[in-house]
Each structure stands twice: as C-alpha cells, then as structure tokens.
C-alpha cells in the first residue's frame, strides 16, 4: 500500500492545499461538530423527557420476562437479567451519566482555572510549585488514581462526580496557566496593574475573559472524558451502584450474558460511544472555530 | 549533554518527591487512615486501635511518618499485603511480566499500524483516506476500551470462535501457538486507542518534515520518491515520536487495567482490582506508586533517548 502511494508523493505536497479538498474537510469538521451538538441535545432530551413517555419503569423487576430480545412485542430494546426494560434503564442511566459528565466538567474546570490562573499570574515559586504538582498528578494513570480514591469514599452520585473532578482538572490548569502567563505581559494587563487594580480584579476581569476560548474547548473535552471515566469505574463496580443505572454499570454484568443476551452489552456501550464521540467532535469543532491557529 | 542529563534527572527527582507526597496524602485520607482495615474487625475497641496506632507509630507527627514511609519505600520495603502477608514488592514483580508482555505487543501494533496511517495521511493530506483516518481516530478515542473488548470477544470468540475469550494460556497446553493466540485479542483491544493517538502524532510530525528544505533538495537532485520518503522524511519524522511513546505510558497503563479485567489477563491491572476489592491498602498503594514510578521513568528515558538520537536537542 505504502509503495503504491509513493509515485504520487511529489504531487501530493503540491496538491496538499487543493482548495476543494480543504473546503470539504472544513465542512465535514463543522458537520461533525454540528452532529455532535445535535446528538448531545437529543441524548439530553431523551434522558430528560423520555422516561415520561415510556410506559415501563426502569426499576420494575419482571422475572416472567427476563432476557426478552430487542425489537420484540412490548419491550422495544428488550429486557435485562431481571426483566427490567432496557429502554427505560438506558434513559435513566443517561440522566446519571450525563449529569456526572456536566457537573464534573464544571467542578474540574473551576479547580483547573483557579489553579492555572494563580500559577500563571504569580509565576516564580508559587507557579512552579503548582505546575510541578500538576505534573506529579499526571504521573498517576487516571484509572489507578480514580479507583484508589473510589475505595476511600462510599460510592454515590456526589462522591463519584467529585473524585472524577479531582482526577480531570490538570489539563485545564495547564491550558489556563500558559494563557495567563502570556496575557499578563500584555499592555492592557500591565495598565490594569498600574491603575491599581487588585490581583483578583486583574485576573478575573482582565485576563480570564481573554482566555475563555481555550477554556471552553478544554471543558467540552472534559465532559467526554468524565463520561468515559464514569463508565470505567462503574463497569468495574466502584462507581454508581445498582439498582440506579448508569451506562457503565449496565455493562457490569453484561460479560457473563454475552453468549445469550449480547444486547445487554451492545446498547449501553453504544450510548457511551455516541455521547463521548459527540462531545469530542464538538470540542474539536470549537477548537477549529475559536482558535485561529 | 551531561548537564542536560543532570538537569533532567533533578527534575525527575523533584517530581518523584511530589508523587510520593501525593501517595502519602492519599494513604492518610483513607477514613481511619492505614488502620481502616482493622477498624472493621468485630470486637475491636477504640483502646485496641489506639494501642495499634502507637505500635505502628501512627501517633507521631505526620512529617516524621512521611519520612519513615518514604525511606522504607526507597529501601524496597513496601509493606506486606493484608491478604497473604507476602511483601508487596514481590507480588507486584510477579505480575509485571504479563502486563509488560501485553503493553509490548499492543505498542508494536500501534507503532506499525499507527505510523503507516500517519505517514499515508500526511503524504496524501486532505485526501479521502486522511479525512477518514482523522474521523476514525476520534471515534477510536471515544470508545470505552472495556466495551470494545466485549464486542471483540462477542465477534471473534463467541460468534466466530477464532480466538480464546480470555486468560494467558490454556492450562495443560504449553505451546507457543497457544500463547500467541491468547495474546492477539487483548493486545489489539489495548492497542486500538494507541493506534489512533500514534497516527495523529505521526501525521503531524510528517507534516513538519515534509516541506523542509532538505526534502526539497533531495527531490531536486532527482532522488526517487521512495528514497526521499524513507531516508529523508520518515527517518526524521519518527525521531520526535520517541517522546510520544514515553508520554503514552499513563494511557497505556490505564488501558491495560481495563483490558486485563475483560480478558482475565493475570497482570498488574488485575492485581490492582483484586487488591481493591479486598481493601488491601498496602498492595493498592504499592501498585499506585509503582505505576507512577513507571510513568516517571518512562518519560525520563524517552527524553534521554531522544536527546541521544537527535543531537540537535539541547533543552534547558
């Protein structure tokens, strides 16, 4: 394959910027971002309002109808090992997983922005100390850190969201630190300082508003990451606890029924992939739109 | 060169110190601290706990406790597992091999396949292949590894019956083929995300090189495109990838944990999960510190190798 492409290599650099293809790429990129946005809205609507329209309760156990195959008579997406309606569970799980994603994003963005801003603004020893701590935190593989923290708390929606936030803020801190460090040398920042603005005012009113674009991009990608991390801990049994459903813990027992009821594994994973892909597409599109580089 | 190495080593030592501080903090964040395990034992009174805390030196000031803990860590005394009282370090050593085997196999796949996708994507920039590779990489990064593993088992083990569904070998069958067959599925699943990351970085690195003057000179003097691509472009583009390989270690270790769970692979990830379900704090802490150490060493090694491979690099 590689050899076949070589005769074209010379022309490839010449045609690299062929306007038609580039436009197609941009268009596709924006298309994908749009796809992401629409999917996120649909998923949120589906999880928020869907359970009101679905006649089945997500916690109702019906042992007479265990393992009903999807697209059957009454249960659209089938039932699980306890005869609970899969569609109802997927919708309620969506509420949990999306909530964890959004709230963890807000908390970790707040932590990351604060620490990054302090480190970037004060620089020197404080900055170095904070950023080296960020480096040290990043030495721990995310899931190892997350699972260790999960053993220290009793699992609930609140604690899981909190510990995910605690393991996801470092990237934002790096982004914000770099931004603030370069912005604070600019004329307007120096002017604010000369006019006697307090440090807090300079940071929050002058510097941070100029760093919103990269923060928004990073925050969008954190939602994707948080949903993924929640699914990992819940799948491993240390996240959201049954009977409350999350996309991750629905997959918890799916492996043992893989031969007989594969839909138990397929649907929740497809939902996670769909949600995470959407947020990643949206983040990538936002980066393209907001970041001129 | 020497001064760069010294500088980089000092940086790593500072990071190591911070890593150990974080580890120590987590250990003491545990409700009940390191004694949490014993507090659950029926019939344990507060007086007993207090006496134990005194015996274990937990009533001393925190800085002193930290120094002692860190010193024992340095000496290789990582405590004994609650489960079977074996030294934590030797338990970890017994499981590292399986994890390294898996990581090595999946990285090989990622480097070969990822480089190919990245090079082709850069050479035919903005082509259909490149666009599909970009979108595909993004989707690959969004699929939960454990779910991909489950689907993989469903297709290749349950439906087609081509590959074993898990574990490292069939008991009683010691053939090399058996080992290889068991390695295929988990290493593809673990390598999936790395292929995506590797191809993106490889593409970017190729694009940095592809328009350099010396590539144009090579073309101008009439070298065949094949020679230019292999000897001038790829050779230079692959150098910075050494650093990327070092940076991938945390992701790879996290992925290994999940992959090992799905494929019942007897590595460090599985050991970690087993230790967690037993609330075996010394083992949990040991594995956590060990993984952070591996990451630290990995990034240091990558930087040093890179500076050896590319004499132009003199970072300060």
B188-217 residues touching A, CB cutoff 8 A: 210-211
Contacts of A233 (CB under 8 A, 6+ apart): A143, A146, A147, A150, A160, A164, A239, A248
> For position A21, what pLDDT does the model report?
62
B16-55 residues touching A, CB cutoff 8 A: 18-19, 21-22, 26, 29-31
Task: Please check whether residue A155 touches B, CB under 8 A.
Answer: no
Q: Give pLDDT tens digits for A251-267.
A: 887 777 877 778 888 88
Where does residue A111 rank: exposed (0-12), middle (13-18), buried (19+ CB within 10 A)? Answer: middle
The residue of chain A with its CA nearest to that of B125 is: A16
Task: Please check whether residue A162 touches B, CB under 8 A.
Answer: no
Which ipTM score applies to this complex?
0.83
> For position A197, what pLDDT does the model report?
79
Nearest-CA distance from A259 to chain B in Å? 6
CB A104 within 8 A of CB A163: no
Task: Please check whether residue A26 touches B, CB under 8 A.
Answer: no
> For position A130, what pLDDT does the model report?
92
* Nearest CB to B276; choose among A9, A18, A151: A151
Task: Please check whether residue B279 touches A, CB under 8 A.
Answer: yes
Q: Quick one: tokens of A255?
A: 């492996």
Query: Mean pLDDT for each 10-residue chunk of chain B (316 residues)?
Result: 80 87 79 62 72 71 80 80 81 88 91 91 86 89 90 86 75 74 88 90 88 86 85 84 84 90 88 84 85 88 82 59
Residues in chain A with pLDDT values less than 70 = 1-29, 59, 63-68, 73, 75-76, 81, 83, 291-293
> For position A2, what pLDDT does the model report?
36
Residues in chain B closer than 8 A to A149 (CB atoms): 26
CB contact under 8 A, B146 and A284: no
Residues in chain B closer than 8 A to A43 (CB atoms): none
> For position A92, what pLDDT does the model report?
86
Q: Give pLDDT tens digits for A48-92.
A: 787 777 777 776 777 666 666 777 767 667 777 676 777 888 888
Q: Quick one: tokens of A282?
A: 């949206």
Task: Please check whether residue B112 touches A, CB under 8 A.
Answer: no
Task: Please check whether residue B151 touches A, CB under 8 A.
Answer: yes
Nearest to B234 by CA among B105, B128, B113, B123: B123
CB A104 within 8 A of CB A222: yes
Length of chain A: 293
Considering the entire predicted model, what is its pTM? 0.84
> For position A9, what pLDDT does the model report?
38
- Within 10 angstroms of residue A83's Cβ, the number of other Cβ atoms is 16
């Amino acid at each position: 394959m590689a050899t076949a492409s070589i005769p074209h290599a010379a022309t490839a650099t010449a045609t690299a910027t062929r306007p038609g293809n580039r436009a197609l790429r941009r268009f596709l990129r924006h298309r994908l971002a749009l796809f992401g946005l629409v999917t996120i809205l649909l998923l949120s609507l589906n999880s928020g309002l869907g359970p009101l329209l679905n006649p089945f309760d997500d916690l109702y156990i019906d042992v007479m109808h265990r393992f009903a195959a999807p697209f059957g008579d009454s249960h659209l997406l089938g039932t699980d090992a306890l005869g609970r309606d899969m569609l109802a569970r997927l919708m309620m799980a969506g509420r949990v997983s999306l909530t964890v994603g959004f709230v963890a994003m807000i908390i970790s963005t707040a932590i990351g922005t604060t620490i990054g801003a302090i480190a970037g603004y004060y620089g020197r020893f404080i900055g170095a100390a904070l950023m080296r701590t960020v480096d040290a935190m990043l030495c721990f593989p995310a899931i190892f850190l997350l699972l260790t923290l999960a053993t220290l708390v009793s699992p609930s929606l609140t604690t899981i969201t909190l510990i995910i936030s605690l393991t996801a803020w470092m990237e934002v801190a790096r982004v914000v630190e770099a931004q603030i460090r370069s912005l604070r040398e600019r004329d307007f920042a120096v002017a604010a300082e000369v006019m006697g603005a307090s440090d807090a005012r300079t940071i929050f009113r002058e510097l941070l508003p100029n760093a919103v674009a990269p923060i928004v991009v990073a925050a969008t990608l954190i939602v994707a990451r948080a949903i993924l991390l929640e699914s990992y801990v819940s799948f491993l049994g240390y996240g959201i606890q049954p009977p409350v459903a999350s996309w991750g813990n629905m997959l918890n027992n799916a492996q043992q029924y893989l031969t007989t009821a594969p839909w138990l594994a397929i649907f929740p994973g497809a939902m996670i992939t769909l949600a995470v892909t959407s947020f990643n597409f949206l983040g990538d599109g936002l980066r393209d739109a907001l970041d001129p580089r | 060169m020497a001064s760069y190495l010294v500088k980089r080593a000092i940086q790593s030592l500072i990071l190591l110190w911070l890593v150990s501080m974080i580890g120590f903090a987590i250990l003491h964040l545990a409700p009940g601290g390191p004694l949490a395990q014993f507090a659950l034992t029926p019939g344990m009174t507060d007086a007993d706990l207090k006496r134990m805390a005194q015996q274990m030196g937990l009533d001393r000031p925190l800085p002193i406790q930290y120094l002692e803990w860190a010193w024992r860590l340095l000496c290789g005394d990582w405590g004994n597992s609650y489960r079977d009282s074996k030294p934590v370090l030797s338990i970890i050593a017994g499981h590292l091999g399986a994890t390294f085997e898996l990581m090595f196999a999946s990285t090989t796949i990622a480097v070969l396949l990822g480089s190919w996708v990245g090079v082709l994507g850069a050479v035919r920039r903005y082509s259909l292949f490149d666009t599909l590779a970009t979108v595909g990489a993004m989707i690959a990064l969004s699929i939960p590894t454990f779910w991909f593993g489950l689907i993989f088992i469903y297709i290749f083990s349950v439906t087609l019956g081509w590959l074993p569904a898990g574990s490292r070998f069939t008991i009683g069958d010691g053939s090399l083929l058996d080992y290889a067959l068991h390695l295929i599925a988990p290493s593809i699943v673990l390598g999936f995300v790395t292929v995506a990351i590797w191809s993106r970085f490889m593409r970017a690195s190729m694009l940095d090189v592809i328009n350099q003057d010396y590539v144009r000179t090579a073309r101008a003097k009439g070298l065949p495109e094949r020679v230019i691509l292999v000897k001038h472009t790829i050779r230079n583009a692959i150098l910075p990838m050494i650093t990327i390989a070092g940076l991938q270690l945390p992701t790879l270790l996290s992925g290994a944990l999940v992959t090992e769970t799905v494929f019942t692979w007897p590595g460090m990830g599985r050991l970690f999960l087993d230790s967690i379900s037993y609330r075996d704090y010394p083992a949990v802490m040991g594995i956590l510190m060990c993984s952070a150490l591996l990451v630290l060493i990995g990034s240091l090694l990558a930087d040093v190798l890179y500076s050896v491979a590319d004499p132009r690099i003199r970072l300060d």
